[in-house]
């Protein structure tokens, strides 16, 4: 017998045992509680069999500082199984929240996204990531008996690119009547600095993730990945998704990676490769800024278009890859600072890929934060280190009003506090979104595969769902998914870490 037949036989035996127990204990007619007991027996049997799966060897999970740390290793299929198994409850929960958001904003049903995943994305995903995605499904099903299949998981992995890049492109092509107002998202505030800008002259990199609180409160995984091929990776991420996706990661060959999205980006190439697969591949296989750029450009589909902020700790060089679809631009330096807050700056990228974006509007969230980054980074030239970077991620200066506030224009975003919302991203007034967590590292830490991370607003403030929903019934549809987002402490994570004794 092969492994899977042995597993199936073991499950069958345990199930038969469960049925026999139920039969002996119930008499006729079968009661609801006896039925529940049988279901529980079967579920427990399934979990026992799944836990003994050899694919789980070497994998582990623990929780610290509000984060869930997961170690995955080995062959792609095994890493997927570990991911699906260890994070099964979080994947089911994350999938429910994310898919509800995708359907709500686009007014498309889930079958639409499954079809896009199956027909458009899947055929162009590299075999190793297909195996990993399939493995996630198998691990998830083994643990919980989930009904999710690989099309669900692929559509879910593309949650940043299908609803806000593919669908608007499709609506335009189909000249869809009454199409919803969809805009590419404005995710994140970040910088990378080197040379005379930092305290020790080496690279410092920091990032806070901006998204809806609904999704952001679930963006709490630290993935420590030791793949059979490619470099070791340490990154933050979302349960069930193979890329970091808000994108903060380091690899064992010295690459340091983060990004912020390009506001009002437009465009999609249905023949391109999914962004989540390219971003994962680039972190896993790029050992230099050039290699990173090459992987991201190969099959660029325009999805989740970003200004990538990169560092190579081996050379001390930093770079910004402004990755449009029709145009792109790469800046690089060993002495400088590159910041991001959702604006493009290359004239060609702006013209052909983000034509609606107005770089001159000082009051918009991207431009107001750009001005604040300029000011804050200049003020601290030569002093920037990880501790200062952490503080900057929680900065509350509104550069338009020239005062402390918590709104859509502060580096630590609290859009739920703004009557203006962010129209460039179709975030209405008081939209429950903003900075949901932060990370920072430097070249020394990256060399030992370490970074600092804080769950929740990087300033330490809490978001409370109940009073928010009471004050803003217009967001009642989020009620089943919107939870409190309480800030944890700044916590250090490293590759190969074990839980605190
Ligand atoms: Zn804050």
Q: Which two tokens stand for residue 287?
A: 């050992």
Q: How far is the CA of 410 from the centre of ligand 1 (A)?
A: 8
- CA of 413 from ligand 1 middle (Å) equals 6
Cα–Cα dist 21/478, whole Å: 43
Cα 79–84–88 angle (5° rounding)? 150
d(CA 206, CA 414): 18
Percent above pLDDT 70 for the chain: 94
- Residue 501 has a pLDDT of 53
How many angstroms separate the CA atoms of 364 and 347, rounded? 19
Round to whole Å and give the CA distance between 216 and 220: 8
Q: How far is the CA of 458 from the centre of ligand 1 (A)?
A: 6
Q: How far is the CA of 359 from the centre of ligand 1 (A)?
A: 24
pLDDT of amino acid 12 = 46
Confidence of residue 323 (pLDDT cuts 50, 70, 90): very high
Tokens of 385: 């280190």
Distance between CA atoms of residues 138 and 134, nearest Å:
6
Tell me the C-alpha distance between 87 and 82, whole Å.
8
Which among 304, 282, 278, 300 has a CA at the least distance from the CA of 291?
282
Residue 412 Cα to ligand 1 midpoint, Å, equals: 4
Task: Give the C-alpha separation, 69 to 234, whole Å.
Answer: 10
Nearest to residue 323, comparing CAs of 255, 265, 264, 250? Answer: 265
- Per-residue pLDDT tens for 197-215? 999 999 999 999 999 999 9
165 CA to centre of ligand 1 in angstroms: 28
- For residue 411, report the distance from its CA to the centre of ligand 1, in Å: 8
Indicate the DSSP class of residue 206. Answer: E
Q: Which residues of 283-306 are buried (b: 16+ CB within 10 A; e: fewer)?
A: bbbbbbbeebbebbeebbbbbbbb
447 CA → ligand 1 middle, Å? 30
Query: 272 CA to middle of ligand 1, Å?
Result: 37
CA of 221 to the centre of ligand 1 (A): 21
294 backbone φψ class: left, alpha, beta (φ>0; ψ -120 to 50): alpha
Q: Is residue 408 within 8 Å of residue 434, measured between CB atoms?
A: yes
217 CA to middle of ligand 1, Å?
A: 14
| Residue 71 alpha carbon to ligand 1 centre in Å | 30
| DSSP bridge partners of 403 | 398
Gap from CA of 395 to ligand 1 centroid (Å): 7
Range list of H helices, 311-406: 347-353, 365-379, 386-393
Distance from the alpha carbon of residue 390 to the mean position of ligand 1, in angstroms: 12
- The rounded Å distance from CA 373 to ligand 1 centre is 15
Which residue's structure tokens are 């899977």? 4
**224-271 residue pLDDT tens:** 999 999 999 999 999 999 999 999 999 999 999 999 999 999 999 999
Query: 0.95 cut: is pTM over it?
Result: no
> pLDDT band at residue 25, thresholds of 50, 70 and 90?
very low
What's the 469 CA to ligand 1 centre distance in angstroms? 19
Residue range 114-123: mean pLDDT, rounded:
98
Q: In this structure, are residues 417 and 407 in contact, taking their beta carbons and an 8 Å threshold?
A: yes
The pLDDT of 27-33, averaged and rounded, is 60
Distance (Å) from CA 418 to ligand 1 centroid: 13
Q: What is the CA radius of gyration of the chain?
A: 23
Please say if the pLDDT value at position 366 is more than 50: yes
Closest CA relative to residue 250, chosen from 434, 436, 451, 403: 451
Instruction: Say how many Å lie between the CA of residue 407 and the centre of ligand 1.
Output: 8
Task: Give 424-474 pLDDT, tens digit per residue.
Answer: 999 999 999 999 999 999 999 999 999 999 999 999 999 999 999 999 999
Q: Is the pLDDT of residue 15 over 80?
A: no
H or E stretch covering 214: helix 213-216
Cα gap 22→18, rounded to integer Å: 6
Section 355-360 average pLDDT: 97
Q: From the CB of residue 351, how many other CB atoms can be counted at a distance below 10 Å?
A: 13
CA–CA separation, 397 vs 403, rounded Å? 6
Q: How far apart are CA 131 and CA 241, in angstroms?
A: 13
- CA 414–ligand 1 middle distance (angstroms): 6
Q: State in Å: Cα 453 to ligand 1 middle.
A: 15
């Amino acid at each position: 017998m092969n492994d899977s037949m042995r597993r199936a036989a073991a499950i069958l035996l345990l199930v038969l045992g469960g049925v026999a127990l139920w039969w002996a204990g119930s008499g006729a007619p079968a009661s609801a509680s006896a039925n529940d007991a049988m279901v529980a027996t079967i579920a427990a049997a399934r979990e026992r069999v799944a836990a003994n799966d050899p694919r789980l060897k070497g994998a582990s999970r623990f929780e610290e500082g509000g984060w869930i740390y997961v170690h995955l290793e080995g062959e792609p299929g095994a890493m997927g199984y570990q991911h699906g198994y260890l994070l099964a409850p979080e994947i089911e929960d994350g999938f429910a929240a994310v898919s509800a958001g995708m359907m709500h904003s686009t007014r498309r049903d889930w079958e639409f996204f499954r079809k896009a995943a199956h027909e458009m994305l899947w055929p162009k995903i590299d075999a190793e990531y297909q195996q990993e995605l399939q493995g996630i499904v198998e691990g998830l099903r083994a643990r919980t008996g989930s009904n999710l299949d690989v099309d669900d998981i692929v559509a879910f992995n593309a949650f940043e690119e299908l609803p806000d890049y593919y669908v608007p492109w499709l609506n335009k092509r189909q000249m869809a009547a009454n199409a919803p107002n969809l805009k590419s998202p404005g995710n994140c505030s970040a910088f990378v600095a080197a040379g005379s800008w930092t305290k020790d002259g080496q690279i410092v990199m920091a990032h806070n993730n901006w998204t809806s609180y609904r999704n952001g409160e679930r963006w709490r995984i630290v993935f420590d990945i030791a793949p059979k091929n490619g470099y070791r990776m340490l990154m933050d991420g979302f349960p069930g998704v193979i890329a970091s996706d808000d994108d903060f990661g380091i690899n064992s060959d010295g690459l340091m990676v983060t990004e912020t999205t390009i506001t009002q980006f437009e465009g999609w190439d249905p023949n391109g490769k999914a962004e989540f697969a390219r971003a994962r591949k680039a972190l896993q296989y790029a050992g230099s800024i050039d290699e990173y750029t090459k992987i991201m450009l190969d099959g660029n589909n325009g999805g989740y278009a970003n200004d990538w902020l990169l560092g190579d700790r081996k050379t001390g060089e930093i770079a910004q890859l402004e990755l449009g679809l029709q145009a792109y631009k790469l800046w690089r330096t060993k002495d400088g600072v590159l910041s991001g807050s959702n604006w493009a700056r290359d004239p060609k990228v702006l013209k052909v890929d983000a034509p609606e974006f107005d770089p001159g509007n000082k009051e918009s969230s991207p431009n107001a934060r750009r001005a604040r980054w300029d000011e804050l980074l200049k003020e601290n030239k030569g002093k920037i280190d990880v501790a200062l970077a952490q503080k900057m991620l929680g900065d509350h200066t509104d550069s338009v009003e020239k005062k402390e506030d918590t709104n859509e224009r502060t580096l630590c975003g609290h859009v739920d506090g703004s009557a203006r919302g962010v129209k460039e991203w179709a975030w209405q007034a008081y939209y429950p979104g903003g900075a949901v967590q932060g990370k920072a590292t430097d070249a020394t830490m990256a060399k030992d595969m370490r970074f600092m991370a804080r769950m929740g607003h990087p300033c330490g403030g809490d978001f409370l769902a109940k009073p928010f929903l009471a004050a803003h019934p217009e967001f009642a549809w989020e009620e089943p998914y919107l939870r409190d987002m309480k800030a944890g402490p700044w916590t250090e994570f490293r590759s190969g870490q074990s839980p605190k004794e």
